[in-house]
Amino acid sequence: MIKKIYGKHTFYFTIFTTILSVIALLSRDNFSFSNELTILFICLFLILSIGISHGALDNYKANKLLSIYKIKNKTIFFAAYVFIAAFTIFVWSLYSSYTLLAFLIIASYHFGREDTSFLHVGNSYLDQIFYLVKGSLIVFAPLFFHFDQTLNIFETLMVKKEFLIFLEYEHWIINVFLFLSIVGYFYFIYKNKFIDFEILLLDMLSIIILNYIFSPLIAFTVYFCFLHSIRHIISISFELDKDDFSNGVRVFFKKALPLTIVTAILYLIATVFLSKSFGINDVIIKVIFIGLASLTFPHILLEYLLEINEKRN
């Protein structure tokens, strides 16, 4: 049942991506994307609502982890989670280039695995490498199709000039890794014996089309909110109620709403605070990506700890 739901979601996402791209191409002469601030606010809204919500059940997942370690005080989890998030922001302020690189690597692995694990049975060391390789399409597609715009985002995120110059002079690296990321998709198609191969192919084509047609931020927002996050929400909803998926979705949103609202409020506070020192366009870019990094590290650590303990049991 769950695989059928994933298949329908992939189909609908591909249709959505295609329609969005066609509209963008047909209206390019009449509609200008020059209103960058409006686009930024729309992307921020989608990420703060749909995107953030897919990790808003971490506090419920923590119950399982705390019981494993026989910890009764849940405050410890919240304190650790907030500390890791705050520490990530602090380290970014000191070593932005290295922190961004670490974030891109971890996020690529996370995207590659989360978007594939429901199809692929197996967890070898080679699989782990190809999760990273496959997920890196999210990083290298915008660099390939919109190099200057992507570098502008990196510069806004306080990446050192030396790193940006390196990417300009060694552009072949982007071409090679883009090719390898596509190979990663075919690796899992082969490993899965071509069963449901169309899901992986449609995912790959949708991501490439999005990054070809749209700016890096729009392409990432559409992928992150409507493919990655929705797919994760489907997985959690099924876990919440395996007999009634619709009820599982309702339970998910009910449980996810409080933490989503709290996180969104913190994002908005950070936006107001930073707007005193930076332009609003730069502030939104910083809040989106540095904010996502601060949430990604504790989120993935929680998933990792749950996984290794489940293997032991």
| pLDDT tens figures, 187-222 | 999 988 888 889 999 999 999 999 999 999 999 999
| 3-class SS letters over the chain | CHHHHHHHHHHHHHHHHHHHHHHHHHCCCCCCCCCHHHHHHHHHHHHHHHHHHCCCCHHHHHHHHHHHCCCCCCHHHHHHHHHHHHHHHHHHHHCHHHHHHHHHHHHHHHHHHHCCCCCCCCCCHHHHHHHHHHHCHHHHHHHHHCHHHHHHHHHHCCCCHHHHHHHHHCCHHHHHHHHHHHHHHHHHHHHCCCCCHHHHHHHHHHHHHHHHHCCHHHHHHHHHHHHHHHHHHHHHHHHHCCCCHHHHHHHHHHHHHHHHHHHHHHHHHHHHHHCCCCCHHHHHHHHHHHHHHHHHHHHHHHHHHHHHHHHHC
Contact 59, 259 (CB under 8 A): yes
Return the minimum-mean-pLDDT range out of 30-39, 44-53, 206-215, 295-304: 30-39
Q: What are residue 224's phi and psi, to 5 degrees?
A: -65, -40
List the domain range (segments joined by +) for residue 76.
Answer: 2-312
CA–CA distance, 14 with 199 (Å, rounded to integer): 10
The structural domain count of the chain equals 1
* Residue 14: band (very low, low, confident or very high) from pLDDT cuts 50, 70, 90: very high
pLDDT at 33 over 60: no
The overall average pLDDT reported for the chain is 89
Provide the token pair at 25. Answer: 């191409």
| pLDDT tens figures, 69-100 | 888 888 888 899 999 999 999 999 999 999 99
Give the pLDDT mean for 227-254. Answer: 90
Give the pLDDT mean for 178-193. Answer: 94
More reliable by pLDDT, 61 or 120: 61
Global confidence as pTM: 0.92
